Structure 1
Amino acid sequence: MDDPIEELLAKLDLPGKLRLISGASLFRLAGDPAIGLAEMPVSDGPSGVRGENWDERDPSVSLPSGTAVAATWDPQLLGEVGALIAAEARRKNVYAVLGPTINLHRSPMGGRHFECFSEDPVLSGEMAAAYVRAVQEHGVSACPKHFVANDSETDRFTVDVRVSDRALRELYLYPFERAVEAGSWMIMDSYNGVNGVAMSENPLLDEPLKGAWGFDGVVVSDWGAVRSTEGAAGGTDLCMPGPPMLWGEPLLAAIRSGAVPESAIDDKVRRILRFAARVGALDGSPRPTMHFTDNQMRDVVRSITTQAMVLVHNDGTLPLREDTAVALLGPAATEPRIMGGGSATVIPDHLSTPLAGLAAVLPVTHTPGYRLVEGLIPAPLELITDPETQTPGMNVRYFAGETEIGTRHRATGTVVMLGDDLATEATLIELHARVRADVAGDWEIGFGGTGPVRLDIDATVAIEENVTMTGGDPAAALLNPPQRSVTRTLTVGQEVDVRIAVTVQGAIPGLGVVMGVTLGIKRPQRSEDEEFTAAIELARTAEAAVVVVGTTEHIESEGSDRTSLRLPGRQDELVAAVAAVNPRTIVVVNSGAPVEMPWRNDVAAVLLAWFPGQEFGTALAEILTGVAEPGGRLPTTWPKTIAEVPVLDTTPANGVLDYTESIHIGYRAWLRAGIEPAYPFGHGLGYTTWSSSDLTVSGRTATLTVRNTGARTGKQVFQAYLSRPDSAIDRPVRWLAGFTTVTLDPGQSRTIDIELPQRAFEHWTEHGWETEPGVFTLHVGTSVTDLPHTADMN
């Protein structure tokens, strides 16, 4: 027997095979010492590598979100992203990062929109392929997800998506096809069903994924997505998490009864062993990756962040002179969102806020003007002390009955218990800290948590309540549990002793204990109207006003879809009031997905920062002062109002979400409806000017001469779209076929090529891919609506 995979398979009995096709634990694939197979930890990984545990003691680099990465329109940049992610994975003993998320922006209401690349399959597909190649070049597996049509969060565990074969092939499957072509070693399927069949058992896993596309890697379930024992006969190869349940003893019985063929199990094991060989888990020698110093990591993240920010409007106010006196306002100036909520969450070792970044390079005055966070915030590390260690943080004690089974120091105000070994053995967990007041007045002190919780302040019971959580999504209980608090009047420097005792409610099958507990505070603050007025006065006397607005972790998160596209609270009112007193008002939007901007024509500039990762402040300062070019272009259409969005609905009816729009999503739907959005797909401004000329076509290559006609180095993204006005079949008005990114010095010109793949000319039919004979029109420019060059193509 010459094939080493077959040799190893032959050494395994049936129970041994079954152990390998289910996880060993929450984030760990099973091993088998008898055949030299190591256990293989995996990690959530779209915007950083968290590792097996959710723990600030082992921090992670926080990269920009998926929409931000796609906004670069530059697959080559993902070489740096991949190297950094692989280095982080190796440092944390991780063999596969669970990302990128390559579902499409079907609707701006999708709660996980921020994590996905784009509304367009070609842009998403090229970024996905580049990500896979970049990570796996270093011997760490990528895991594109979630296969397929997992484009919204409402009823995500049970929704059945009804979508035409043509839309599946041309839109939703295409990014996965490109990821497979790039050589992906693992792909994750999804919770939802497609056309009546749960994805973990859906025939799409066999055809086209493992059939026509030739995918020879591992299909891993989303965590808890396997629905049945008999489904093991289908295309999912690895049931996560572990230990084995549906695919343990019940599957052994099903195979012995003939209900599931052992040959199906053999195929899964072959794929897992092949995967293990690729990541170095069979010979005990994972490939070494690049080493990054802290400064190198920060430089990479900052560079990507500047490349991702999209300047959608500028009257010439930007860039600012370095001596410009700025009033920095808005709730996200000091409390930004650098990442979306859910499994994409990582804990960085530091965060550069807009205030810190701008204050380092400009004369800045600051007040928020409006405080977006209405409830408690996790107690900042500088205000809490562990009474046991006398160091910043909390003491966490674990009890089984009356017996203490462990204690840990945690340097955080929030403890997330996911994969926590002591939590699985405990019946009660106690958080203990001294809280110090840094301002005088009425403080709110409390907790976020679920189940029976007791809050003691200075050895006196302040709250004792069984706190319940509405809804059944574990992500909400983990990340956004209900809050309770009491008020205490404190003087500056006064300390109070706080204990939070939480009764453990028991493990979730396959997930273990899933629980988040926060020691929360809310400082004394001036009234909302006083704060608002103070911001307007700062803006009135400043040379320029920078207002940083955004969404919240409750609005954009795994587990729920959005209910509005408006900025929460009084942020729109704040921007309008600031613009009324300062004509040089610059708005920075800190969101992962589109928001309405009713003031957009009344301000000097609008910069979209997305969820930008840990180097937000330093990157923002570079963009606003012109040290760096705002390099981003829109990967998704931004509407004027929610009422104008052509494809909006994410709410199933009787368990079904029907994609009635077929192939017309994103800019395709906007063009079809004849509605002008606030900012179109592909749009973005820089700090220089460009000219382009002499479009020619040879075969499937479009050639264009481009020139930087401005006074400074700049970046431009040239985009090629196809149209077929007289087509005999239903087509979009235009569709993206290819793109390229170019950076030129002042006065420099270059001839660029844009490759147009054959697939761009094809459409899906019941007989497969076909090309309609005749002439297609090629359009080339810098957005889906700014296309000055045309040519005919056969």
Structure 2
Amino acid sequence: MDVDQTLAKLNISQKIKLLCGSGWWHTEAIPEAGVPGMRMSDGPNGVRGQSFFNGVPASCFPASTGLGSSFDVELARNVGEALANEARAKGSHILLAPTVNTQRSPLGGRGFESFSEDPILNGTIAAAYINGLQSKGVSATIKHFVANDQEYQRFSISISERALREIYLKPFQIAIRDANPWALMTAYNRVNGVHASEHKRLLDDILRKEWGYQGMIMSDWTGVYSTTESIKAGVDLEMPGPTVMRGKAVERALMSGKLFPSDIDARVRKILELLKRAQDSGIPFDAPEESIDTPDLRQLLRTAAADAIVLLKNDKNVLPLSTDLKKIAVIGPNAKLAQTSGGGSARLLSTYTVSPLEGISSVAKEIGAEIKYAVGAASHSYLPVLDPYVQQKNGGGAGAIIEFWNQKPSEDYLHAAADLNTKLDKCDWSTPTLGTNCILFDGVDATKVNFDCFIRYSTAFIPDEDGDWEFGVHLASRGNLFFDNKLIVDLSTNLELGENFFGLGTIDKRAVVKGLKAGHPYDVELRISTSEFAQMSPFPCWGGLRLGGIRQFDGEEAIKDAAALAKDSDAVILVIGLNHDWESEGFDRSNIDLPLLTNPLVTAVLRANPNTVVVNQSGTPVAMPWIDEASTVLQAFYGGNELGNGLADVLWGKVNPSGKLALTFPKRLEDTPSYTSFGDKGQEHGKIHYNEGIFVGYRSYELRNIQPLFPFGFGLSYSTFEYSDLETSPVSSEGTFSLTFKIKNTSNVPGREVAQVYIADPQSSLPRPVKELKGFVKVALQGGESQSVKVDLKREALGFYDDRQGCWVAEAGTFKVLVAASSSDVRLNGEVELGATLTWTGL
């Protein structure tokens, strides 16, 4: 395709049509002009495809905080390449990833989607990911530009120019310089009073002119709030379709002279340039979606899961576990269910999953050990989905049947006042589904089903344990839950809205059904009317439903049972943490505590067996009040498909852990840099003030001399490493220099070490952090092996942003060079001298 020729033959109506998406996942097509519609898919840890509902399964990779904690640039590129293969299999030309928003607080609902609190690590891993993805012709979409660092986001972000430049824009700048992402997504929020999607200074002055960015800019979904302003600022594509702020409004703006044809051409050109890349990639348009599942892909998923794990404590050398164990206890709420990722747009239907219990059981079988499991405590905010326990009625396959009627039955039927056996007319459309969590934004035949409709979801529930079961349901609509022909949950009257379904759903309501028998099928039916939701929703969709349940158990008794099992076992693996109920797009966490009775469970199990291995799964930091009692602790993040096998590989030493924390873990929430200015705490007259300025993450802890629970960059290994022989080169007139040093594996265990290079500027004319990460390298060493390492640095390593001058400055003088195993473990000290002050703008 020739962009200039295509642009010239499009008429103004066709050009305006291209400025908005077609539905949720496509750009508009102009067939008569030879312009097909590009397909896009959500990331960042997988390629979900074009359906939230009933999508084609995909591989789920570890959450970004885990990938960031690997400090492994090569792994990030390999993950990007694998995601490109998945995107190609799904006919997706654009992946909506990676996320590089800075984690300024552990409470951020989407914190798990970004790589690090540090802009250098964040941007460097992002660049490798993007290069891998785009090497195979799939466009990356770096997001969300900029300062989308919390879900409490409907207010202005008030942030200093220096903090904006050094912390929040920096990862975008690095990735654009080193990887050139072909697309970029704007944030929902305002920045200093102006919405990001109409912020000309950010999008045009800085991004396009100062940095020279040439890619396409799209909005976040429903993130365009203006017509003229967003187009003038540089947003090429409004998503999703149908348009709300463009279309006829653009025609009116052209008539009034607020916009000119040249403005439209500038936006359309960027869309066509990306389309040309899509055509050159060879990815078909409107292709059927397929899954990929190969031995090589499974191995990469397993490698990534293991490399995302950080060993935090191993005081008694309990790890790696012995192969001579006879009795192994696996305990905890995160052991049996595979917590592959956080929630929101990161969630997808995995091709397969391996839970920690399954991964550990596999090893136990190999070594001939007996394994026993106890849940110990619940950790859910919402009851676990019923997917493993449902099947279609009358001997059908797994899952449920969901039926849609355009003509609604009477209210009596919705409330079950009428005969439950009342026959409805044949539905207008139906489909089977495997899930009990259905987000009906897509996947429904819109040619047959109105958005204002009646839905019946029916299935047979088959419990795996006798007892009393608690069921919970919430809807993005109005409806009722029936169990064995009895109404048990009423969500059709006196509706209360909650945080579910991106803030569009009801609260979760629960009911207990007593005396259920394992293996016996029970009829379950949801009857739903979408009328109110169709009127309230900001975009066309059919609502949603989530059905969960769990056998009731006494919390204190479950802890006692778990402690007894731990006491009677040779090895105990306690798997705890959060899940996508607690960490998700759409809401922030209210604290950093582990949920419900998790902490009492950990304490009881540790007292019963002090050699317990505690495995925490969370996308962002949690408090660990029992940390002094625990000798052995692993941070596993969300590990994707292969999290269970990856964990088992680390536990038994098949993989020597080499991850280091990409986030500081605080002892308490009050110690975090943004404590007084995050979420509603920081709201003042409609603004959130980023009061911590440039002192985000470890920078703040060091400035305030507060000891964290675990520092940034910290992680242990089954090997030990020694650093020596630091040498630095002179600094060139352009500000470049290099340093070399040696790392030796002083153990007999092969391992990998992440060496971190920090720079300190004690003579700066402006306040600066005690030290800042400016480079890192990961080295693989056999036992007893040593290796010389070289790190090259540019002028950026010495500079800061001076908003008085409106440029970057590296001041003449002496800088400290610190080589460290973590931000709190400096191994080598050196100095470099910059002879003359440097100033610059741009990349």
Same fold, judged at TM 0.5 (above):
yes
* Partner residue, 1:732: 769
Residue 747 (structure 1) shift: 1.4
User: Which of the numbers 190, 195, 218 marks the counterpart of 1:193?
Assistant: 190
Equivalent of residue 542 in structure 1, options 560, 564, 569? 569
Match of 1:406 in 2: 429
Tell me if structure 1 keeps the 8 A contact 2:330–2:574: yes
Map residues 708-719 of structure 1 onto 2, 5 A cutoff.
Answer: 708-719=745-756
Structure 1 counterpart of 2:645? 618
Cα distance, 1:344 vs structure 2 = 0.8
The CA distance in 1 between the partners of 2:770 and 2:108, in whole Å, is 24
Aligned residue for 1:366, secondary structure, equals strand
How big is the shift at 1:347?
1.0
Given the alignment of the two structures, is residue 371 of structure 1 paired with residue 366 of structure 2, yes or no?
no
| Contact 2:49/2:55, CA 8 A, preserved across alignment | no
Structure 1 match to 2:422: none
> Which residue is 1:268 aligned to?
267
Give the superposition deviation at 1:14. 1.0
Q: Which amino acid aligns with 1:770?
A: V
Using structure 1 for the length normalisation, give the TM-score.
Answer: 0.95
Instruction: Report deviation, 1:248.
Output: 0.7
Of residues 26, 29, 40, the one that matches 2:27 is 29
Pairwise CA distance, 1:208: 1.1
Deviation at 1:168, TM superposition (A): 1.2
Equivalenced residue count is 787
Residue in 2 aligned with 1:314?
A: 314
Does 2:623 align with 1:578? Answer: no
Q: Is the 1:57–1:410 contact (alpha carbons within 8 Å) kept by the matching residues of 2?
A: no
- What is the aligned partner in structure 2 of residue 669 from structure 1? 700
Partner of 2:513: 487
Structure 2 residue identity aligned to 1:397: E
Unpaired segments ≥5 residues, structure 2: 409-424, 732-736, 834-843
1:602 paired to 2:629: yes
Which AA in structure 2 matches 1:753? K
Do the aligned partners of 2:56 and 2:290 also contact (CA within 8 Å) in 1?
Answer: no
CA distance in 2, matches of 1:290, 1:428: 31
Which residue of 720, 726, 731 maps to 2:757?
A: 720
In the alignment, what sits opposite 1:239? 238
Aligned-residue offset at 1:661: 1.7
1:454 pairs, out of 456, 470, 480, with 480
Q: Deviations over 1:748-782 (max 9, x none)?
A: 11111112121111121223122111111100021
1:630-675 per-residue CA deviation (whole Å, 9 max, x = no partner) reads 1210101111122222322322223211112211111000110011
Taking structure 1 as reference, are residues 436 and 4 closer, same or farther at Cα in structure 2, changes over 3 Å only? closer
User: Matched residues in 1 for 2:773 and 2:465: separation?
Assistant: 55
1:565 & 1:93 partners in 2: Cα distance? Answer: 40
Q: Which residue of 1 aligns with 2:412?
A: none
CA contact (8 A) 1:450 1:466 kept: no
Q: Does 1:563 align with 2:590?
A: yes
Partner of residue 118, structure 1? 116
The 1-side partners of 2:587 and 2:292 are apart by: 36
Please say if residues 420 and 513 of structure 1, whose CA atoms lie closer than 8 Å, have aligned partners that are also in contact.
Answer: no
CA separation of 1:510 and 1:42: change in aligned 2, threshold 3 A: farther
Number of the residue aligned with 2:84: 86
- Distance in 2 (CA, whole Å) between partners of 1:693 and 1:176 is 34
Equivalent residue, structure 2, for 1:160: 156
Q: Aligned partners of 1:290, 1:787: CA distance in 2, in Å? A: 49
Letter in 1 for 2:668: T
Determine if contact 1:389/1:409 at 8 Å carries over to the other structure: no
1:297 lines up with 2:297 in the alignment: yes
Corresponding residue SS for 2:707: coil
Match of 1:779 among 809, 818, 823: 818
Amino acid at match of 1:412: G
Q: Using the TM superposition, name which of 448-457 and 133-142 deviates more.
A: 448-457
Q: Secondary structure at the match of 1:17?
A: helix
TM normalised by structure 2 equals 0.90
Contact 2:378 2:598 in 1 (8 A): no
Name the CA distance, whole Å, in 1 between partners of 2:63 and 2:357. Answer: 21
Of the structure 1 ranges 425-434 and 278-287, higher mean CA displacement relative to structure 2 is found in: 278-287
CA–CA distance in structure 2, aligned partners of residues 557 and 282 of structure 1: 33
| Alignment-mate amino acid for residue 417 of structure 1 | L
Please state how far the C-alpha of 1:445 moved relative to its aligned partner. 4.3
User: Is it true that 1:696 corresponds to 2:731 in the alignment?
Assistant: no
1:497 maps to 2:504: no
The residue number in structure 2 matching 1:554 is 581
Structure 1: tracts of 5 or more residues without a match: none
CA distance in 2, matches of 1:281, 1:483: 51
Identical-residue share of aligned pairs (%): 34
TM-superposed CA distance for 1:424, in Å, is 4.5
C-alpha distance in 1 between matches for 2:109 and 2:382:
21
Amino acid at match of 1:701: S
AA partner of residue 212 (structure 1): E
Return the offset for 1:571: 1.1
Provide the secondary structure at the position in 2 that maps to 1:360.
helix
1:355 counterpart residue number: 357
Shift, 1:338, TM fit:
1.8
8 A Cα contact 1:424 1:507, kept in partner = no
Deviations for 1:355-409, whole angstroms, at most 9, x for unmatched residues?
Answer: 111111133221011122365332233x322126611110111110156211111
Partner AA of 1:53 in structure 2: S
Asked if residue 751 in structure 1 is aligned to residue 788 in structure 2, the reply is: yes
The offset of 1:162, in angstroms, is 1.1
**Two-structure CA RMSD over aligned residues (Å):** 2.2
Match of 2:128, SS state, is: helix
Post-superposition offset of 1:242: 0.5
CA displacement, residues 143-179 of structure 1 (integer Å, 9 cap, x when unaligned): 010000111111x2x2211111111111111111122
**Matching residue within 515, 520, 524 for 2:548:** 520
Q: 1:463 to 1:578 in 2, by over 3 A?
A: closer
Where do 1:14-163 residues align within 5 Å?
A: 14-56=12-54, 58-154=56-152, 156=153, 158-163=154-159
In structure 2, C-alpha distance between the alignment counterparts of 1:661 and 1:457, rounded to whole Å? 52
Q: Does 1:259 align with 2:266?
A: no
Partner Cα distance (2:555, 2:563) in 1: 13
Aligned to 1:341: 343
